[in-house]
Structure formats: C-alpha cells, structure tokens
Amino acid sequence: MIEPSEPAWSAPRFGAVAALLLGALGVVGVGSVGGGCEPAQHPRQMTKKAVDNLCHVAFDCCTAVERGLVNAALPYGSRQACHDELDDALGGALAAAVEAVDRGTAVFDADAAAGCTKEGQAAIDSCAGGDAFVDGTGQLSVLRAGFGLDPDDSECLALAARGFTRGVVDDGDECVSAFECADFGDCVIDDDNGAAITRDGACRAHADRSGDCTTRPCQPGLVCVSGVCDEPPPLADDGDACLRDSDCASALCASVDGDDPVCVRPDIDDGICDGRALLGP
C-alpha cells in the first residue's frame, strides 16, 4: 500500500528549508506586511505571504547577529536569496493544493485562513520579538514567525498543512492527492504488484475519537493510543521527566548536568528579533 499524499509540509523534501517547515505548515496572515487587509483567496497567495513574513522577520526584525543565533534553518545572506529559495520550496510544497483548487476538487477556506492567522500576523508585522517568534529550543519558529499560527490549535495546524484548502472528494472516491480528500483524509494508492503505475487513488478518511487507528491516522487533535484515537495526554511541566521534546509543554526535553532528561524552558530574551534591525546593522 502506497500513501503518497501526506501534505508536503511534513515531508523532509527540502533539506534545511524542510527542517524549518516541519509541520510545515503552509501559510500565513491575511494582510500584507506593512499594510493591506484583503483576505487571501487562493493557496498561491498563502505561499507568497509565508515567504514575505519569514524574510521580513529575518531581515527587518532580527539583527545580523540574531539571524546567526536563531535562524539556522534560513541561512540566507540577503533578502533576495531568502525570497528566491523559499519561493521555490514553498511553491513546490503547495503545488498539489494549487492543482486541486484549480481542478475544483478542493476549495480555499479564506475564513479559516483569516481567523487562524489574524492575531499572529499582528505580531509579525510589528516585530513583537521574543517568544512571539522563538520556540522552546531557542530557534526561529516557522509557525509563529512565518505563519502567525498558534502551535496549540490543531484545527488550524491541519488546515495550514494543506494551505488552508479543504478537499471535496468523499471517502472512497477517486483522488490524485490528499488535498482533494474531505475531512483531512489521505489519498491512498493500492499497489498490488509492488510498483505504482498510476497517480490515481481513493480517499481514506481519518479515524474519529475512539476509532481504530491501526490502519489509518486520527483526526486533527487526536493521537493513536493502543490502537484507538483519543485526546493527547497532558504535556509535562518544567522539571518533569521526559523522553522527547514533544512530551514537554516547553517543547524541550534535555539532560541537565548529566542527569536523566527533564522538561526545561530556556531563558529567551524578550528583546530578540524585536525590530532593532530597522535601526541599523
């Protein structure tokens, strides 16, 4: 069974850029940087907005020194290089979404794009700085600095992964990509001979709460626990034992002084990437 249609934001296809886009999450606010308030009406506009936001934060909000400290996944020496490379990466990641909208097998949800990103876009435009842009590991967060998203909003994150498109193809009907499938479904291609010879597949819905997740993923906001979809367990507080970053509310699990790993919260300077770049080098 081949499942080629996982939203491209989450696939490691673009090297350093892909690391930045993990979750990847395709999108951003509804106004233009520095002004404008017309809502986006197509995933192409969301791609442009993501690039504009990331390069604005990197070169207007962060100083050159700060870019070196928090911007490891965007190692661009100039604003133009930032735009050129991200245009290619994000355009490729959302190409299937654009195709689905153009074919009429998906629609762009302008209301969700506006609602999910409005508050975060204001922080981006104003160079709010600090943890408005930087995650628990001290690195620039694409969800915050690029897309203006709340990392805890599972519905918005799932929509962002699809460029705020919603598929209109029902469970079991023919599809070319996951962007076409309704309710965040997958497009699954049966491969009985060990080699796929067609791009056509069938939409497979994700499991709801209490549903079987041994053969399919869970709906956004749910996790697979012992083969059944359920609410995710509470995140561990600072100082609690952990195994991985995703266990922690701080998003960082680390060993301190050689002890067993615990959840820690780095001391992030509130002034980092707060617009001082606009005052000079």
Query: For the chain, percent helix, then strand, then coil, each to nearest 5?
Result: 35, 15, 50
Closest residue by Cα to residue 239 from 255, 221, 218: 255
Considering the domain boundaries, does residue 262 fall inside one? no
Considering the domain boundaries, does residue 152 fall inside one? yes
Please state the domain count of the chain: 1
Judge whether residue 18 has pLDDT over 50.
no
What span, in angstroms and rounded, lies between the C-alpha atoms of 5 and 15? 19
Residues 6+ apart with CB under 8 A from 259: none
Q: What is residue 77's predicted lDDT score, i.e. its pLDDT?
A: 80
Mean per-residue pLDDT, 54-68: 84
Where b means 16+ CB within 10 Å and e means fewer, 114-129 reads bebbeebbebbbebbb
Considering the domain boundaries, does residue 276 fall inside one? no
Considering the domain boundaries, does residue 273 fall inside one? no
* DSSP-assigned letters across all residues of 92-136: HHTHHHHHHHHHTSEEE-HHHHHHHHHHHHHHHHTT--GGGTB-T
Highest mean pLDDT among 58-62, 126-130, 229-233: 229-233
Number of H helices, E strands in the chain: 7, 9
The pLDDT confidence band at residue 62, using thresholds 50, 70 and 90, is confident
CA 160 to chain CA centroid, nearest Å: 6
DSSP state for residue 143 in the 8-state scheme:
I
Mean per-residue pLDDT, 167-190: 91
DSSP β-ladder status, 106-108 and 174-175: unpaired
Considering the domain boundaries, does residue 59 fall inside one? yes
Q: What is residue 170's predicted lDDT score, i.e. its pLDDT?
A: 95
Q: What is residue 22's predicted lDDT score, i.e. its pLDDT?
A: 36
Considering the domain boundaries, does residue 124 fall inside one? yes
Of 147-151, 173-177, 222-226, the poorest mean pLDDT is in 147-151
Considering the domain boundaries, does residue 232 fall inside one? no
Euclidean distance between the first and final Cα of the chain, in Å? 53
What span, in angstroms and rounded, lies between the C-alpha atoms of 117 and 112? 8
Closest residue by Cα to residue 25 from 101, 107, 89, 110: 89
Token duo for residue 108: 């762009």
Considering the domain boundaries, does residue 1 fall inside one? no
- Which residue pairs, CB below 8 angstroms and at least 24 apart, start in 232-240? 236/263, 237/263, 238/262, 238/263, 238/264, 238/265, 239/263, 239/264
Q: What is residue 73's predicted lDDT score, i.e. its pLDDT?
A: 57
More confident residue, 10 or 281: 281
Q: What is residue 28's predicted lDDT score, i.e. its pLDDT?
A: 29
* pLDDT above 70: percentage of residues in the chain: 74
What span, in angstroms and rounded, lies between the C-alpha atoms of 231 and 160? 21
Judge whether residue 97 has pLDDT over 80.
yes
Q: What is residue 278's predicted lDDT score, i.e. its pLDDT?
A: 59
144-166 pLDDT, tens digit each = 788 888 878 888 888 888 889 99
What span, in angstroms and rounded, lies between the C-alpha atoms of 111 and 159? 11
Mean per-residue pLDDT, 47-72: 82
Which residue range forms the structural domain that includes residue 61? 8-206
More confident residue, 241 or 151: 241
Judge whether residue 94 has pLDDT over 70.
yes
